Structure 1
């Protein structure tokens, strides 16, 4: 083959490779956009979701029926009436056909103090305000006409988000929840913050106090997504 023929062949290969690369990136971008649109259509979100589908090349993953990794974030979402902010998701082995599943997935979100305050006030039937003081979640208000202050300790137990009231001070005196009148003490024990609306297979696993509330994490395997919200393709 002449030098001109070899050079021409190389050019053809490069052009074809570039075409495949462009097609891969276009399909990749389209899939990311579709996922973001599905999130907006199926969840009560605040802001525009961002989505990143990992792995390269994307087309081969699509043809294989599974995407290596999908990460996403959205400013806020409402979970069964409870506002959450700074929502992130990290999923691996995401299928591209029904039933849409995530091999493994982790979702994290922050429940602002306002959301927690609403639930705690409703459950305890007390007029209280919730705030973050350093690394502690605190509650202040009145009980029986006296000033109340306490710490709220969040924890996850059997997939449920519970808040325990500790270090209770009434009118400046430290008392145990057990020492309070039964009608009050019973409402301050294991207050549940309902976190509903998670996809099937995701279970709450952790709760940590952060600067603006409580950061919750849910993990799962073989997580099933609603069929009306396809992840890619």
Structure 2
């Protein structure tokens, strides 16, 4: 009995050492293959690990990514809390790469980072629980700053009409193409200058392109929360490394 316990303890120790080494190597490969600026965190689930490796299939691998960005109008911001849960990860015969049958991915962009990517002069914030339930955020800003930040020239004779005016709009958030977030204002205030409503909409409505997520994971859901926008999606035949 004592020998069995000792051998069992040795096996567990060896198994944990092996899984730690595999996690480190997989993290380095994912960093290289995805072009990330920092090394992701890898957690290989299931026990024993060595038995899974011998069968060339891992039950679950969790990945926490960093270095993912969103871009809009030349601005680049960080995407936080990027995670992927990979299931049924099949290892190739050379043990140099692996492919997951299925992957569930999620990410979050804070309102502070959304504001950094917004048009100059605009602030993006939480719109409250009722609006958030409709997938909406609140966009506010000085009218003059928004128009001038977009390169729209205001004739000097009309600046007085716009001075001190602010814009407050509720924008609906949607997804396009599995990686692009679109913000579109529900309605805009009437302006005292003919034709400027259309110009203002071109400023307020904008797209965010999320870059760096595995190409086989397509985002298909976005939620407005009090902490920012949360995205989720699913992919199949997702490459883990190689």
Structure-1-length-normalised TM-score = 0.74
What is the alpha-carbon distance in structure 2 between the residues aligned to residue 68 and residue 15 of structure 1? 27
> In 2 relative to 1, CA 82–100 (structure 1 residues): closer, same or farther, beyond 3 Å?
farther
Structure 1 residue aligned with 2:98: 100
What is the alpha-carbon distance in structure 2 between the residues aligned to residue 120 and residue 111 of structure 1? 12
What is the alpha-carbon distance in structure 2 between the residues aligned to residue 20 and residue 99 of structure 1? 25
* Cα deviation, residue 38, structure 1: 4.8
* Cα deviation, residue 37, structure 1: 4.8
Task: For residue 67 of structure 2, give the secondary structure of its aligned residue in structure 1.
Answer: strand
Deviations 1:62-117 (A, max 9, x none): 1121211012335x533264311122221112233344322111221111223322
Task: For residue 229 of structure 2, give the secondary structure of its aligned residue in structure 1.
Answer: strand
Deviations 1:111-148 (A, max 9, x none): 12233223330xxxx52111224234211112353310
Q: Any gaps of 5 or more consecutive residues in structure 1?
A: 1-9, 174-178, 228-233
Aligned counterparts, 1:1-233, within 5 A: 10-38=1-29, 42-45=35-38, 49-73=40-64, 76-79=66-69, 81-96=76-91, 97-121=95-119, 127-135=121-129, 136=132, 137-143=137-143, 145=162, 146-159=165-178, 160-169=180-189, 181-189=197-205, 191-227=206-242
Corresponding pairs, count: 204
Structure 2 residue aligned with 1:230: none
Q: Any gaps of 5 or more consecutive residues in structure 2?
A: 71-75, 145-161
* Cα deviation, residue 155, structure 1: 1.4
What is the alpha-carbon distance in structure 1 between the residues aligned to residue 240 and residue 113 of structure 2? 26
* Cα deviation, residue 19, structure 1: 2.3
What is the alpha-carbon distance in structure 2 between the residues aligned to residue 39 and residue 95 of structure 1? 15
What is the alpha-carbon distance in structure 1 between the residues aligned to residue 5 and residue 201 of structure 2? 74
What is the alpha-carbon distance in structure 2 between the residues aligned to residue 66 and residue 79 of structure 1? 31
Taking only aligned residues, the RMSD between alpha carbons, in angstroms, comes to 2.8
What is the alpha-carbon distance in structure 2 between the residues aligned to residue 51 and residue 69 of structure 1? 11
Structure 2 residue aligned with 1:5: none
Of Structure 1 and Structure 2, the greater strand share is in 1
What is the alpha-carbon distance in structure 1 between the residues aligned to residue 104 and residue 5 of structure 2? 40
Task: For residue 181 of structure 1, give the secondary structure of its aligned residue in structure 2.
Answer: helix
Structure 2 residue aligned with 1:7: none
What is the alpha-carbon distance in structure 1 between the residues aligned to residue 223 and residue 100 of structure 2? 25
Contact 1:86 1:109 in 2 (8 A): yes
Contact 1:99 1:225 in 2 (8 A): yes
Structure 1 residue aligned with 2:147: none
